[in-house]
């Protein structure tokens, strides 16, 4: 009683179900094999972890930042937010944020804080909407505003421009808030914007740096750019079981990912395949539900077409009240994969 029943395995391809469904990159697997040689200090006190942390700092031009590693993006986000907020605090995010809709209430459970959604356009929040909500708080009867989480690129495939994210972060800081960036797909945003990585996150205080969706077997990082504002973050990481004893096996993957710009090359392929898919969908007369600026493509499909597509492909329908289907491309998506999906739709 009370158990969630598992669905029978599907014979449909998961090629576009999610970038989580992609295999691990060969360079990542090679890195794991290389570090699997003899003993090493545990819980992050090893040279591989130090090298990985330095690589993340260097990529985002944050030499003074602290870097933690976790098994999942949900854990990275939860660690970041729970370390910032106390039970009397308020956390803000967009109305489509992963931390709101897809983390089973983890940030709330760990922090005890209130999580408040803000209106957005495909996950992009207007600074004035944040300001309106924050300035409406004040008395002891209200939760105290503490931190706002934004996603780069967003859950709907949009990308904050460098100027937009800069203005938003500056306004949040003026309002006395910390800023968290959920960067599960930060590499896709950097490639889309064609700017240095630091410009894609502006002056954000803490960033979840995605790895799992970008070629890793598992693992995401937390870049803590203002450690003084996240006192106790290492204890949060430990409490929720994210301080790996064999830490080198998470870290080695990040060493590989940030070597020779592999993280950006992986994202570049994902973005390019998304644009190839967009071109094909438009040629078939199928309208996009939102602009595709990274590696997620949302398209409107009539119910019968969606049913027929589902016979061949596992695709996600975010809102069952809307005829919108999501395709996600990855580092491993090929032109042949895209063309086969378009052929299935054409049939």
Residue 167 lies in a domain: yes
Q: Is residue 17, in this structure, part of any structural domain at all?
A: no
The pLDDT score that the predictor gives to residue 10 is 60
* 298-339 pLDDT tens trace: 999 999 999 999 999 999 899 888 999 999 999 999 999 999
Q: 191 in a domain, yes or no?
A: yes
Contact 110, 241 (CB under 8 A): no
What is the three-class DSSP state of 101?
A: helix
Structural domains in the chain (count): 2
Alpha-carbon dihedral 337, 73, 58, 50, rounded to 10 degrees: -120
Residue 341: asked if its preceding bond is cis (omega within 30°), the reply is no
Are 102 and 164 part of one and the same domain? yes
Residues 218 and 279 grouped into a single domain: no
The per-residue pLDDT for 284 is 96
pTM for this prediction: 0.95
Cβ count within 10 A of residue 330: 26
Question: What was the pLDDT predicted at 139?
Answer: 86
C-beta neighbour count of 287 within 10 angstroms? 11
Looking at the fold, whether 36 and 178 belong to one and the same domain comes out as: yes
**Inside any domain, residue 58:** yes
Task: Say yes or no: 102 and 241 in one domain.
Answer: yes
> Is 4 part of any domain?
no
Mean pLDDT by 10-residue block, N- to C-terminus, for the chain (347 residues)?
51 92 98 96 97 98 98 98 98 98 96 97 98 91 96 98 98 98 98 98 98 98 98 97 97 98 98 98 97 98 92 91 95 97 93
Residue 277 resides in a domain: yes
Supply the CATH number for residue 249's domain. 3.40.640.10
Q: Same domain for 249 and 289? A: no
* Same domain, yes or no: 120 and 171: yes
Q: Give the C-alpha distances (Å, rounded to integers) separating 162 from 33, 35, 127, 172, 263.
A: 38, 37, 14, 15, 19
By residue range, what is the domain housing residue 267?
263-346
228-234 contacts at long range (C-beta below 8 A, 24 or more positions apart): 229/84, 229/178, 229/205, 230/66, 230/80, 230/83, 230/84, 230/205, 230/206, 231/83, 232/83, 233/66, 233/68, 233/79, 233/80, 233/83, 234/68
What is the CA 65 to chain-centroid distance, rounded?
20
Residue 269: which CATH number?
Answer: 3.90.1150.10
């Amino acid at each position: 009683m009370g158990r969630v029943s598992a669905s029978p395995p599907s014979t449909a391809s998961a090629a576009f179900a999610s970038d989580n469904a992609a295999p691990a990159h060969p360079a990542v697997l090679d890195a794991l094999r290389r570090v699997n040689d003899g003993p090493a200090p545990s819980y992050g006190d090893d040279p591989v972890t130090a090298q990985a942390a330095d690589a993340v700092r260097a990529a985002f031009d944050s030499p003074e930042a602290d870097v933690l590693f976790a098994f999942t993006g949900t854990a990275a986000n939860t660690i970041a937010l729970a370390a910032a907020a106390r039970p009397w605090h308020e956390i803000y995010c967009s109305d489509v944020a992963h931390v709101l809709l897809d983390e089973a209430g983890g940030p709330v459970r760990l922090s005890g804080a209130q999580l408040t959604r803000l209106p957005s356009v495909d996950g992009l929040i207007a600074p004035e909407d944040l300001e309106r909500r924050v300035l409406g708080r004040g008395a002891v009867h209200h939760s105290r505003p503490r931190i706002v989480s934004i996603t780069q690129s967003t859950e709907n495939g949009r990308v904050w421009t460098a100027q937009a994210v800069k203005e938003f972060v500056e306004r949040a800081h003026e309002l006395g808030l910390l800023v968290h960036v959920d960067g599960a797909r930060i590499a896709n945003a950097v490639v889309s914007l064609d700017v240095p990585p630091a410009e894609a996150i502006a002056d954000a205080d803490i960033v979840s740096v995605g790895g799992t969706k970008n070629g890793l077997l598992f693992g995401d990082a937390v870049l803590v750019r203002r450690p003084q504002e996240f006192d106790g973050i290492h204890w949060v990481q430990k409490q929720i079981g994210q301080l790996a004893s064999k830490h080198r096996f998470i870290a080695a993957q990040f060493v590989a990912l940030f070597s020779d710009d592999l993280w950006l090359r992986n994202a570049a392929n994902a973005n390019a395949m998304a644009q190839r898919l967009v071109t094909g969908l438009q040629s078939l007369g199928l309208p996009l539900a939102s602009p595709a600026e990274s590696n997620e493509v949302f398209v409107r499909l009539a119910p019968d077409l969606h049913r027929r597509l589902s016979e061949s492909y596992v695709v996600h329908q975010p809102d069952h009240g809307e005829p919108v289907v999501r395709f996600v491309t990855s580092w491993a998506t090929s032109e042949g994969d895209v063309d086969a999906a378009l052929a299935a739709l054409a049939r």
